Amino acid sequence: MILKPRDQWRAGATPESLMAELSAKASQRVPATINAFSQPIEMRVNDLVSGVKSDVAIKLIGDDLATMSDAAEQIRRALAKVPGATDFKAEIALGQPSVRVAVDRERTGRLGASPSDVLDVLTMSRAGLRVGEVREGERVFDLLLRLGTEDVKSASDLGRLPVATGHGTLVPMAMVATITEEATVLQVSREQMRRRLVVQGNVRGRDMVGFVRDAQAAVASLELPSSVEISWGGQFQNFTRAKERLTLLVPVALGVIGLMLVIMFRRAAYVAMTILSLPFAVAGGVVGLALRGLPFSIPAGVGFIALAGLSVCTGVVMTGNLLRQPPDKPAVERVRDASLASLRAPLSTALIAALGFIPAALATGAGAEVQRPLATVVIGGLVASMLLSLLALPAMLLLVARREDARAR
């Protein structure tokens, strides 16, 4: 369904409340169904990553479909009780209605019929028995003989079909075959050369990592067969991969920043003081996420990387001005003059960046779930950096400058 622009929604409506309302109305109209809500791009990405179209997927790998189906139903019931779980459903592998016809050779022999005659009648009632060819110019068609195709709709109808015997009489198929109705395999999905069933659903109203942690604890408490292997996938799998890459990129980014500072200052003490301004900015980003009720996500992690570069600029400018001060001046005067000379550049950079990210922090349209965490981290970190780093950094630089003066004396 195509939604109207957000400014045309009724007051107080949110995507979460809309999905809850639609699910309630759909359940009233069509009971005993499971409703799942997603978006085209999100669903396609989930499908490409793990082969399912939901936020969280639990894959059961095994050999016996009946055992796997029982385990899948246990997992579905356990996950439905976890806070934040919506639309969870288990893939149905069994339940295809079918009719099984088993020829009774003993009864067939007593009545003078053959098993092939029984199977021919069965073929004529379903697909048709080939009895010849029909030619129309260069085209050739099979001539099929069908028997009671439209009237045979159940096992009892199939049992009344006539079968010719060697004595020239007709007997119903039920006298020469055992006909039963049963539920057979509906579909067989495979992964890693083994059979697979999927329990999948979406997460609403809480963070993905916290939900998966609680869900894994709920599944771990179940007594599942040892022959069934369980793996977790879906959007959580994509998040895990991105988190692993981010865990690798953050140290690399900090290492590059430190290397550039070493090349610039050539003094370990000044490099350390400049890097020590990062915790203030990081704390501001964390407080910003907490105040807005946003969980840590990949966009938030990218925001922390950008924040690290912006917050280091304050230390670079202030430390560079300190090193350009005359060495014969007292340490307090050098630090004071360097701080005053560096005040304008960090404040201008922080204010411009913070004001520029305000629209993204308040966004509600397409892509807002990516923009809000990133902008919130940057704004909160820059505000904290302006309030704390501009006070703490001069004090730390003063300690280093006094120690260098003492060494020089």
Eight-state DSSP code of residue 173: G
> Confidence class of residue 85 from pLDDT cuts 50, 70 and 90?
confident
CB 11 within 8 A of CB 20: no
Closest by Cα among 407, 401, 403 to 329: 401
- Is the domain 267-408 a CATH 1.20.1640.10 member? yes
Question: How is 325-352 classified by DSSP, letter by letter?
Answer: S-TTS-HHHHHHHHHHHHSHHHHHHHHH
CA atoms of 55 and 241, how far apart (whole Å) = 14
Band the pLDDT of 137: cuts 50, 70, 90: confident
Nearest to 369 by CA among 235, 175, 189: 235
Q: Domain ranges in the chain?
A: 35-93+187-235, 96-185, 267-408
pTM over 0.75: no
| pLDDT mean across residues, the chain | 80
The whole-angstrom separation of Cα 358 and Cα 361 is: 5
Task: Provide the pLDDT for residue 56.
Answer: 83
Other beta carbons less than 10 A from residue 257's beta carbon: 19
How far is C-alpha 244 from the geometric centre of its chain's CA atoms? 15
pLDDT value of residue 366: 64
Which CATH number applies to 96-185?
Answer: 3.30.2090.10
The answer to whether 171 and 162 have CB atoms below 8 angstroms apart is: yes
Helix (H, G, I), strand (E, B) or coil at 131: strand
CATH superfamily of 35-93+187-235: Multidrug efflux transporter AcrB pore domain (3.30.70.1440)
| Nearby residues of 243 by Cβ (< 8 Å), 6 or more positions away | 298, 301
- CA contacts within 13 A on the Cβ side of 166: 9
Q: How confident is the model at residue 149 (pLDDT cuts 50, 70, 90)?
A: low
pLDDT > 80? residue 350: no
DSSP run (H or E) holding 80: helix 65-80
pLDDT band at 50 (very low <50, low <70, confident <90, very high): low
Highest mean pLDDT among 71-75, 153-157, 192-196, 309-313: 71-75
- Across 22-47, average pLDDT: 77
Nearest to 215 by CA among 200, 229, 225: 200
Structure confidence at residue 400 as a pLDDT band (50, 70, 90): confident
Q: Which pLDDT score is estimated for 49?
A: 60
The maximal CA–CA distance of the chain, rounded, in angstroms, is 128
- Residue 202 has, within 13 A of its CA and on its CB side, a CA count of 18
At residue 141's C-alpha, the angle toward residues 136 and 142, to 5°, is 145
Given pLDDT bands bounded at 50, 70 and 90, which one contains residue 47?
Answer: low
Mean pLDDT of the region 23-47: 77
What span, in angstroms and rounded, lies between the C-alpha atoms of 300 and 358? 15
Q: What are the pLDDT digits (tens) for 224-241?
A: 888 888 888 777 777 777
Dihedral angle, C-alpha 246, 252, 255, 261, nearest 10 °: -90
Reported confidence tier of residue 187, pLDDT bands at 50, 70, 90: confident
Q: What's the rounded mean pLDDT across residues 147-160?
A: 78
- Paired with 144 in beta bridges are 130
Q: Flag whether pLDDT at 364 surpasses 70.
A: no
Please tell me the distance from the alpha carbon of residue 342 to that of residue 332, in angstroms, as a whole number: 15
What local confidence, expressed as pLDDT, does residue 296 receive? 74
What is the predicted pLDDT for the residue at 231?
85
- Residue 134 banded pLDDT, cuts 50, 70, 90: very high
Residues belonging to the chain: 409
Residue 300, pLDDT above cutoff 70 = yes
376-391: pLDDT as tens digits = 888 888 887 777 777 7
